[in-house]
Amino acid sequence: MTAKKPVLVISSGAGISAESGIRTFRDADGLWEEYPVMDVASADGFRRNPALVHEFYNARRAQLADVEPNAAHRILHDLEDDFEVYVITQNVDDLHERAGSTHVVHLHGELNKVRALDDETKVYRLDYKERTTPETVIDGHHVRPHIVFFQEAVPMLETAVSLVERADIFVIIGTSLQVYPAAALVNYVRRGTPVYYIDPAPSRVPEGVTVIRAKASEGVAELARILLADKQKQ
Ligand code: OAD
């Protein structure tokens, strides 16, 4: 009989994909310096200028063809040998999946999908280089990016919360913790659950959180050493 694996829940943000060459949002050279966030990533912005929003996400999607998962994504996949790993990501890229992670929940949507404007249950997968505009019709429907815009609800939140409530270990990686409700997930861990935060420029976190001040590749390698050593002791 094999022992049940501990449940390791990861909450990742843009920082985990930075070493793959995807820009973060709020760092000095971040995307929101170049594009006003409320123009390209809000429900109002989409209503005002849908062509601009389609174009913004077309460019982000196209970039996925040119990037690869990095060591941080890959180590999280490797940890599945010893842990039941669930990744909750704010990222709209697919690098966790491409590194092999089995359970990935996208809180803010996915770049390689669009959905019908008149029926949110109709979701369509696109190739990286496919482009959409307000005029694009798929399966008889006009479509929009499958992205959670600011001012919209976060449909995967309940799923994410129930995973965090199950966590034996909770790890936050590469996020400025500025955007809610993602930033509040840590509040759902059970009392006594070890919590780690990996980020080269960490934001303030509650007392008791172990901060690993490092880039994701190094920080996740360090985390894996700690978790595997702890597991051996048990
Ligand atoms: P941010 O751009 O706000 O934060 C990026 C974080 O990554 C910062 O804390 C950096 O210090 C850290 N970072 C930078 N390089 C790193 C590296 N090599 N390794 C690890 N960490 C690194 O991105 P998020 O917190 O993910 O939402 O942003 C959250 C949401 O805001 C996004 O999902 C997006 C955005 O608006 C929507 O558009 C809906």
pLDDT digits (tens, 9 = 90+) for 178-206: 999 999 999 999 999 999 999 999 999 99
Distance CA 132, CA 110 (A): 14
- Does ligand 1 have an atom closer than 6 angstroms to the CB of 53? no
Quick check: 1 pLDDT over 70? no
At residue 29, the pLDDT reads: 87
**Radius of gyration (C-alpha) of the chain in whole angstroms:** 18
Strands 109-116 and 104-106: unpaired
Instruction: Find tokens 């029926």 and name the residue.
Output: 119
Structure token pair of residue 48: 């005002």
Q: Relative to the CA of 92, which ligand 1 atom is closest?
A: 33
Predicted confidence (pLDDT) at residue 3 exceeds the cutoff of 80: no
- Residue with CA at minimum distance from ligand 1 atom 9: 176
Atom of ligand 1 nearest to the CA of 13: 26
pLDDT value at 53 more than 80: yes
21 CA → ligand 1 middle, Å:
13
Catalytic hit among 54, 73, 108, 146: 108
Structure tokens at 2: 């094999």
Over residues 40-63, mean pLDDT: 97
Most informative mutation of 46, 92, 175 for ligand 1 (most atoms within 8 A of CB): 175
142 among known catalytic residues: no
pTM for this structure? 0.97
- For residue range 16-49, what is the model confidence (pLDDT) as tens digits? 999 999 999 999 889 998 999 999 999 999 999 9
Q: How does strand 7-12 pair with strand 169-173?
A: parallel
